[in-house]
Structure 1
Amino acid sequence: MAFSAAFFTSSSPSLTLPCKTRRPFYSQTGYCLTPLTVRASTTLDYSKVSVEDKTPNPSKTSSWQWKFKDNYINIYYEEHVKESPDPPKNILMMPTISDVSTVEEWRSVARDIVQRVGEVNWRATIVDWPGLGYSDRPKIDYNANVLEEFLVDFINARNGPISDSENNLVVIGGGHAATITVRAAKKGLVKPTAIAAVAPTWSGPLPIVFGRDSSMETRYGLLRGTLRTPAVGWMMYNMLVSNEKAIESQYKSHVYANSDNVTPGIVESRYALTKRKGARYLPAAFLTGLLDPVQSREEFLELFAWLEGKIPVLVVSTEGSPKRSKAEMEALRGAKGVSKFVEVPGALLPQEEYPTKVAEELYQFLRESFESRF
């Protein structure tokens, strides 16, 4: 019989989808620190952005215009560096794709890594995807190819934010962002010197639970179309996604492993993101599987296998991920193309919940992979 199944999975909040199924799915070495300086061209007032992330040295931010077809889309990014006479080596950090995706999830990790004293002077750039975070959110037809095109353009742009990173770039991504990066590298569209995949995923929330048969794809299309409509779309988005109770439930059920770490400040900050103009367009694509870079675990493993012997690849799994997402991460343990596999506390956003643990694993990977080369 048909019923409404409430579920929490991947990086999305609760949704209700009419469907036929038998049951619903419910669901961190010692080092030294030096003063940190953050460089960029414009400043954002973080007192209006995040309750949780105020520091003595507030971040400065910049924007970059991405040309997509006939549109110019303002892309938000920030850069973290420390004062050093040595030329920097570049890290690009890509946020996990979700309805509340934001550069904030990587900020503590970026600051931790760039402050460490070692053989390499690291510089970290964090960028919001188009349609998410503090980037513009135009009404375009978002899919995995669009996001891959953005990533490629951002990395390869002449006079772009990381234009000095040729043959000198490590990409770190969470969730779908990691898999999109690996796919672009396999195609030869980007040439990072290493990739770190943190809690990597490849399937959107609805497909991972309800599958991809023709009947379900029709339902996904109907839901996606409804969410994109002018009036009804906002009503549905506000009811299912853009409310504080839904966001709190999302974080406590699968985004964070420890519900005590879900503070009112986190919820308020993420709720504000869902109120930005155009906020519902990309999440509508993510929830219904249009942003999935592959369609099966076999394809997922093949992407990583192609990197075997070419570049170092770190996979960071988490102890408390949802069952289905955890199974995909575990499939990469010992898999071809994966140079190192580690596990840290957390669920789908360990870089935000346990930044010290994630930063330590990432820094050790960077040391093992690069310091002896310079």
Structure 2
Amino acid sequence: MGGTASLTTRILDLTVAGHLVPTPCLEVGTGPAALLLPALSSISAREEMRPLARELAGDHRCLVPDWPGFGAHARVRVPLEPATYHAFLDALVAAAPGPYALAIAAGHAAPYLAAAARRHPGAFGRLVLVAPTWRGPLPTAMGKARAPWFGRIRKAVEMPLVGEALYRLNISPPIIGRMMRAHVYAQAEHVTPEVIRAKHRITRQTNGRFGTAAFVTGGLDPVGTREDFLSLFGPDLPPVRVLRPERAPRRSGAEMDALIEAGGVEARPVPGALSPHEEFPREVAAAIRA
């Protein structure tokens, strides 16, 4: 499947939180519409969904947008908070209504998609959540006890000059490579110099540090507790399939398992860590179709 399908780029001029947000979208394939939402992370961009979109292109007409504040292009400054991202999906569904036979969300995009499906009944035929997460890296690693530090860290990275220097130190190619080998990809040999260079280019975009600072410190977490995360799912949603990577990091994997064990979703194992859709697109596509 996929492979040679022609890719095009479409710009949607969306108004989000009172700001004009030109939103580049990758389009590929034919058939029923599918919306593919990339993860939110320091290295997030619509390009990460390109391999999966190609795999699905024989079955679906795929639309892959960049999130505000992320992507391999200069970023418009918008309020970096959950309300902005809920509003973004509302604006996206209004501008490109589908309806979508399939909606796929990776990582932190998953709870935003679930919430959007509640607000827009009938917009999505079924949901697929790939390695779903709801808690940013620092809250996950450090816990609530150190929460007061998260806002201070975010403010430091957002400062002029000093913040840019801090950001550059923490998104250097060696650090990106180490991060990807630690929990983004499952197989170290897949973290090639070419992959690292591509990810580093994403981080170097104008205003890049603001989205990273918000995400890493938990500022884009759409919920505050596991209970709130689980409450997003229920019988009023379209059918939900969770793709649980076999080598997801322990803490993130525990949240995925809690969602699966709560019931109301169907689970399928896939290879990979936090970005299986990028590292193992063929296997993820097969799990989506199965």
Q: TM-score, normalised by structure 2?
A: 0.94
Residues in 2 aligned to 1:35 and 1:176: alpha-carbon distance in whole angstroms = 27
Q: Quick check: 1:232 aligned with 2:162?
A: yes
8 Å CA contact 1:244–1:268 kept in 2: the answer is: yes
Task: Tell me the SS of whatever aligns to 2:259.
Answer: coil
Residue in 2 aligned with 1:73? 21
User: Could you tell me which residue of structure 1 aligns to residue 220 of structure 2?
Assistant: 291
How many residue pairs were aligned?
A: 290
- In structure 1, distance between residues paired with 2:126 and 2:219: 27
AA partner of residue 180 (structure 1): Y
Matched residue SS, 2:208: coil
* Structure 2 CA distance for partners of 1:34 and 1:219, relative to 1, 3 Å: closer
* 1:259 alignment counterpart: 188
For the 8 Å contact 1:183–1:293, the answer to whether it is kept is no
Which runs of structure 1 show a deviation greater than 6 angstroms over 4 or more consecutive aligned residues?
Answer: none
> CA offsets per residue over residues 5-24 of structure 1, 9 Å max, x none?
xxxxxxxxxxxxxxxxxxxx
- C-alpha change, 1:195 and 1:235, in structure 2 (3 Å) is same
Cα-Cα RMSD:
1.9
- CA displacement at 1:34 relative to structure 2: 7.9
In 2, the alpha carbon distance for the partners of 1:347 and 1:34 equals 23
Structure exhibiting the larger radius of gyration computed from Cα positions: 1
**1:296–1:273 CA distance, 2 compared to 1 (3 A):** same
Post-superposition offset of 1:258 = 0.8
How much has 1:189 moved relative to structure 2?
7.3
How far, CA to CA, are the matches of 1:221 and 1:311 in structure 2? 36
Q: Which residue of 2 aligns with 1:55?
A: none
Name the counterpart of 1:328. Answer: 255
> Which range moves more in the overlay, 60-69 or 199-208?
60-69
TM-score w.r.t. the length of structure 1 is 0.74
Structure 2 residue 146 is the aligned partner of structure 1 residue 198:
no
CA distance in 1, matches of 2:237, 2:3: 35
Contact kept, 8 Å, 2:245 with 2:273, in 1: the verdict is: yes
1:141 is displaced (CA, Å) by 2.4
SS at match of 1:280: helix
Of Structure 1 and Structure 2, which has the larger fraction of its residues in helix? Answer: 2
Q: Once the two structures are superposed, what CA deviation does each residue of 1:110-132 show, in whole Å capped at 9, x if it has no partner? A: 111222xxxxx521111111111
Task: Write the deviation string for residues 221-256 of structure 1: whole angstroms up to 9, x where unpaired.
Answer: 111111111101100000112x10010001101001
Match of 2:151 in 1: 221
The alignment-based identity, stated in percent, is 33
The answer to whether the 8 Å contact 1:36/1:111 transfers is: yes
Taking the aligned partners of 1:112 and 1:37, their CA distance within structure 2 comes to 9
Whole-Å separation in 2 of the counterparts to 1:190 and 1:142: 28
Deviation per residue, 1:123-176 (Å, 9 max, x gap)? 11111111111354233320111111101210122xxxx33x13x442100001
Partner of 1:250: 179
Residues 73 and 205 of structure 2 are in contact (CA less than 8 Å); yes or no, is this contact kept in structure 1? no
The whole-number CA distance in structure 1 between the counterparts of 2:150 and 2:259 is 28
Q: Distance in 2 between matches of 1:249 and 1:279?
A: 20
- State the alpha-carbon separation in 1 of the partners of residues 63 and 264 from structure 2: 25
Asked if the contact 2:72–2:201 (Cα under 8 Å) also holds between the matched residues in 1, the reply is: no
**2: CA distance between counterparts of 1:212 and 1:298?**
15
Shift of 1:107: 1.2
Task: Please name the residue that 2:60 is paired with.
Answer: 122
Aligned 1:102-121 pairs, distance under 5 A: 102-115=45-58, 121=59
Q: Contact 1:184–1:190 at 8 Å: present in 2 too?
A: no
Paired amino acid for 2:243: V
Task: Give 1:358's aligned residue.
Answer: 284
